[in-house]
């Protein structure tokens, strides 16, 4: 079984006794011993005199010596009683101090070592393992989606889950291992193992994960969770300390969660660099909002039949003064995870509306929104406010919703789409064909357009399956009365093939790469597609009636 933290704590502090600090019981014992010595000396004279006096063979004892003897007896009794009281106080104090140390170093809920105690205990284990020539592994464990357990079942259920998880971990860990609750739903195990036998730690980690994954009974039902593990190892002769090893294991645990949870992952130095970059990325995202670092780029959308420019899709770009230009494939998922995607997206949309209001009125602006923004019940109202402030006609704006959004909350998506369309905004279904939309969903959701995912378009000449899928989407669009945009037109061959399949609005690198607002405006000026008189912001336009009808 794992090492008992209570027993270790008491053993560590046995020699740190109050007896050595106060010395009061030693003084009391000294008084009692001195009184006994004096009693022996005085009694040797007084008692024989008393005996001779009682027998009538001699005079009585000297009264002064008798008084001294009685005083010695009183001192012996006082000293001994005081000694016993003090030793009792010392013993009680020792028990109280030992209990206080146990409480200070032990997690009250689970009985594991706490964060404060695991470092010194691990260092002691390192020393023992070093003498045997063993390696030491730190396994950092974190319950997956523990907050959800608390939210759904109450914090009492969360506490029961933590207690049971600790009990199961204790049961699996080998003799001499340490178990600590670092905080919240995070545990750390410190285990010695034969040098070079990392397979033993792999097996142990799998056992720990399997043990925690078993359902936990709670109020007539069951709570289920999984656990992710990160592992870092210290070989014999290594100078790495406990805190560094715990940090490395924590990084590995984060990667285990990133790779899908319910698994274990060994620490690799490259992980630390990635985590540092992630930290810099998050800090940069927070700093960049409101400072003009997030800028819209525009990709052309062209009528494939006539070749005329029909509009632009706005694409997000981040020009970080620290990290340089960061791809949206990198920063958008991070912004979604840390809850910054909405303010970033709203900042970009507001700027794009200001850019596009001076384009030719027949040019449209398409904007992607995150699935997280669809969960915001006030998004439609926020968008209307941006339209009014930019003095941009809603009919020229097209909001693109990815197909994956339809599986999260269909009712909320329907309400949002209806609200946007009541304002006059067009709504298209983006990346169509990559998800699992049903005909019933498409019929019940009032989309204005379907966008074919670029993965089908780019392979239309090489894959009969892609051509068949595109043809099916075209037939579906015609049946539902929905126009179609094809993404990923990157070569003349693809363009010719798509023209032969139907009438589309298309976009892709064949027509040019996404460009900044300045480059887009310059090109539109050459094409005579800018308004001669710029539209001022916040003026009365046709938006007002739409706002009232919404």
* pLDDT tens digits for range 111-141: 898 888 888 999 999 999 999 999 999 999 9
pLDDT score of 496 more than 80: yes
The span from the CA of 299 to the CA of 510, in Å, is 11
Three-state DSSP class for 274?
helix
* pLDDT tens digits for range 218-239: 888 888 889 999 999 998 988 8
The span from the CA of 173 to the CA of 191, in Å, is 8
Q: pLDDT value at position 135?
A: 93
Q: pLDDT value at position 269?
A: 87
Q: pLDDT value at position 358?
A: 93
- Would you give the DSSP letter of residue 59? P
In this prediction, residues 149-159 reach a mean pLDDT of 86
CA angle (83, 89, 95) in 5-degree steps: 135
Question: Which of the two residues, 75 and 210, has the higher pLDDT score?
Answer: 210
pLDDT score of 470 more than 50: yes
Q: pLDDT value at position 402?
A: 82
* pLDDT tens digits for range 45-94: 666 666 655 565 656 566 666 666 677 777 777 777 777 777 787 788 88
Three-state DSSP class for 215?
coil
Task: Concatenate the DSSP letters of all residues of 321-366 into one string.
Answer: TTTEEE-HHHHHHHHHHTT-HHHHHHHHHHHHHHHHTTB-TT-EEE
Which token pair is 160? 């029961």
- Mean of the per-residue pLDDT values of the chain: 83
In this prediction, residues 152-168 reach a mean pLDDT of 90
Q: pLDDT value at position 23?
A: 57
Statement: the pTM of the whole predicted model exceeds 0.85: no
The span from the CA of 550 to the CA of 537, in Å, is 21
Residues 6+ apart with CB under 8 A from 466: 455, 456, 457, 459, 460
Q: Say if residue 319 is exposed, middle or buried (CB neighbours under 10 Å; 0-12, 13-18, 19+).
A: middle
Three-state DSSP class for 398?
strand
- Would you give the DSSP letter of residue 531? -
The span from the CA of 237 to the CA of 133, in Å, is 9
Which token pair is 489? 């037109």
* pLDDT tens digits for range 298-337: 999 999 988 999 999 999 999 999 889 898 999 999 999 8
Which token pair is 78? 């006082």
List of E strands, 19-144 = 134-143
Q: pLDDT value at position 262?
A: 92
* pLDDT tens digits for range 427-441: 998 877 666 555 666
* pLDDT tens digits for range 337-391: 899 999 999 999 999 999 999 999 999 999 999 888 888 888 989 999 999 999 9
In this prediction, residues 246-263 reach a mean pLDDT of 91
* pLDDT tens digits for range 97-116: 776 666 677 888 898 988 88
Q: pLDDT value at position 60?
A: 59
Q: pLDDT value at position 56?
A: 57
In CATH, what is the architecture of 115-276?
A: 2-Layer Sandwich (3.30)
Q: pLDDT value at position 62?
A: 63
Helices then strands (H, E): number in the chain?
A: 21, 17
In this prediction, residues 27-39 reach a mean pLDDT of 67
Q: pLDDT value at position 509?
A: 93
- Would you give the DSSP letter of residue 173? S
Residue ranges of domains in the chain: 5-105, 115-276, 299-549
Three-state DSSP class for 192?
strand
Q: pLDDT value at position 67?
A: 67
Q: pLDDT value at position 252?
A: 93
Q: pLDDT value at position 13?
A: 40
The pair phi, psi for residue 8, each rounded to 5°, is -65, -40
Residues 6+ apart with CB under 8 A from 247: none
Question: Which of the two residues, 533 and 189, has the higher pLDDT score?
Answer: 189
Q: How many CA atoms lie within 13 A of 271 on its CB side?
A: 20
In this prediction, residues 210-215 reach a mean pLDDT of 93
pLDDT score of 178 more than 90: yes
Assigned CATH for 299-549? 3.20.20.450
pLDDT score of 399 more than 90: yes
The span from the CA of 253 to the CA of 137, in Å, is 13
Same fold, 115-276 and 299-549: no
């Amino acid at each position: 079984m794992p090492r008992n933290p209570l027993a270790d704590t008491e053993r560590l502090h046995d020699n740190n006794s109050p007896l050595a600090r106060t010395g009061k019981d030693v003084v009391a014992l000294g008084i009692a011993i001195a009184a006994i010595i004096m009693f022996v000396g005085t009694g040797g004279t007084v008692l024989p005199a008393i005996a001779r006096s009682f027998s009538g063979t001699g005079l009585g004892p000297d009264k002064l010596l008798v008084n001294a003897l009685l005083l010695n007896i009183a001192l012996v009794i006082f000293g001994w009683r005081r000694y016993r009281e003090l030793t009792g106080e010392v013993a009680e104090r020792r028990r109280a101090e030992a209990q206080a140390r146990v409480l200070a170093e032990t997690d009250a809920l689970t009985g594991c070592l706490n964060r404060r105690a695991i470092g010194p205990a691990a260092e002691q284990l390192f020393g023992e393992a070093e003498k045997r020539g063993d390696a030491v592994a730190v396994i950092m464990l974190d319950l997956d989606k523990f907050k959800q357990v608390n939210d759904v079942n109450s914090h009492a259920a969360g506490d029961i889950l933590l207690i049971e998880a600790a009990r199961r971990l204790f049961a699996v860990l080998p003799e001499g291992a340490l178990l600590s609750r670092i905080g919240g739903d995070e545990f750390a195990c410190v285990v010695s193992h034969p040098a070079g036998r990392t397979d033993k730690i792999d097996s142990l980690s799998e056992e720990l994960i399997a043990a925690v994954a078993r359902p936990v009974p709670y109020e007539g039902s069951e709570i289920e969770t999984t656990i992710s593990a990160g592992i870092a190892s210290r070989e014999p002769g290594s100078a790495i300390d406990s805190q560094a090893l715990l940090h490395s294991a924590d990084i590995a645990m984060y990667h285990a969660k990133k790779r899908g949870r319910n698994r274990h992952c060994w620490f690799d130095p490259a992980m630390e660099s990635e985590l540092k970059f992630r930290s810099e990325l998050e800090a940069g995202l927070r700093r960049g909002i409101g400072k003009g670092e997030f800028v819209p780029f525009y990709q052309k959308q062209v009528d494939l039949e006539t070749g005329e420019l029909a509009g632009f899709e706005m694409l997000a770009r981040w020009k970080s003064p620290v990290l340089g230009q960061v791809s949206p494939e990198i920063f958008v998922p991070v912004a979604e995870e840390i809850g910054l995607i909405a303010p970033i997206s709203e900042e970009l949309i507001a700027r794009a509306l200001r850019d596009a209001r001076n384009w030719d009125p027949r040019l449209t602006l398409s904007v992607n929104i995150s699935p997280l923004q669809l969960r915001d019940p006030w998004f439609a109202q926020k968008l209307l406010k941006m339209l009014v402030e930019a003095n941009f006609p809603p009919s020229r704006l097209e909001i693109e919703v990815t197909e994956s959004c339809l599986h999260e909350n269909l009712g909320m998506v329907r309400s949002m789409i209806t609200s946007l369309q009541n304002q006059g905004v067009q709504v298209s279904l983006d990346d169509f064909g990559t998800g699992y939309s049903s005909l019933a969903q498409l019929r019940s959701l009032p989309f204005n357009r379907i966008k074919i995912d670029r993965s089908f378009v780019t392979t239309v000449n090489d894959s009969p399956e892609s051509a068949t899928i595109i043809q099916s989407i075209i037939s579906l669009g015609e049946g539902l009365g929905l126009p179609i945009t094809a993404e990923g037109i990157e070569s003349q061959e693809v363009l010719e093939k798509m023209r032969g399949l139907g009438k589309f609005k298309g976009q892709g690198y064949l027509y040019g790469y996404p460009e900044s607002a300045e480059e887009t405006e310059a090109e539109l000026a050459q094409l005579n597609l800018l308004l001669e008189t710029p539209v001022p912001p916040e003026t009365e336009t046709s938006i007002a009636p739409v706002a009232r009808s919404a």
